[in-house]
Copies of this chain bind each other. A is one copy, B any other.
Amino acid sequence: MPHLIDPTLTRRERQRESTYVDIVAASRELLRESPELSLRAVAAKMGMTAPALYRYVASYQELVDLVAFEVDKAATETFAAAADALDPDDAPGRLVAATTEFRQWALGNPHEFAIVFANPIAEAACVRRELITLASSGHLLTDLIHDVWVQRGFAVPALDELPSAVREALEDPLIPAKVEHIAAEDRGLVWVYMQGWTQLYGVVALEVMGHMDPRVIESGEMFIDVVRRFAPTIGLAEEMPRLESVIRERLSR
């Protein structure tokens, strides 16, 4: 993403934009080495003093949020690329490739994963709550499930089978997904989105945090197992053997 320069912007505005890009770049570089991201270190890496950064972010938390947002955006492109490595018609393969790439990215960049997905957002202000709803990785994954649903037409839970609390949440969901184009009677699909996200987030967080036998993490077998167990929910039971090879191919890079 070469960050196209908008000519309608004034010179000052363009310079400011590019400084934001620099901030994110410096932050990600620091994050690659150390788990702690410090405002001062970011400033130093950019050849600035710490107070200068306050012209761009109002607080340390806002810096973290900015970086998290951009990291998520950048990572999503690699997930999308993984999906694009397969046939456009192969929605299941694309979904599985993207989720596997998500897992690989998380294990390879644990600090970036932590900043995006392990930052408790109950604490933070509503700003972060809104950011999360904009998460591009979330949009990609829900879109990919949607594609599978369109192609394979798996059965989706009926609204009146779902608990009322869930039904309410499905009417106007606070998750990163396009839902307007989903007919009211198909809103159960959004519940499937949530189930899938729970499974994916669950294993990956577990693996990144290291709360499991390192040899199992290393092998990726628990991740595969989770995918396998979830596959029937989105009508991919029969296809699982093929999908498993898609996963394994990507795990072994």
A residues sitting closer than 8 Å to B (CB atoms) are 35, 110, 114, 117-123, 132, 162-163, 165-166, 168-169, 173-175, 194-195, 197-199, 201-203, 205-206, 208-216, 218-219, 221-222, 225-226, 229
In the bound complex, do residue B114 and residue A211 qualify as a contact, i.e. CB atoms below 8 Å apart? no
* Complex contacts, A203 vs chain B, CB 8 Å: 198, 202
* Complex contacts, A163 vs chain B, CB 8 Å: 219, 221
In the bound complex, do residue B209 and residue A121 qualify as a contact, i.e. CB atoms below 8 Å apart? yes
* Complex contacts, A117 vs chain B, CB 8 Å: 209, 211
Partner of A213, one of B119, B121, B162, B175: B175
In the bound complex, do residue A169 and residue B114 qualify as a contact, i.e. CB atoms below 8 Å apart? no
CB distance from A211 to the nearest CB of B (A): 6
The binding surface of chain A is classed by DSSP as helix
Q: A169 vs B221: C-alpha distance in the bound complex, in angstroms?
A: 11
CB distance from A69 to the nearest CB of B (A): 14
Q: A110 vs B120: C-alpha distance in the bound complex, in angstroms?
A: 9
In the bound complex, do residue B120 and residue A165 qualify as a contact, i.e. CB atoms below 8 Å apart? no
CB distance from A75 to the nearest CB of B (A): 15
* Complex contacts, A209 vs chain B, CB 8 Å: 117-121, 205
Q: A168-B215, A197-B211 are in contact. List 10 more A-B contacts (CB 8 A).
A: A117-B209, A117-B211, A163-B219, A169-B215, A169-B216, A175-B212, A194-B216, A198-B203, A198-B226, A201-B206
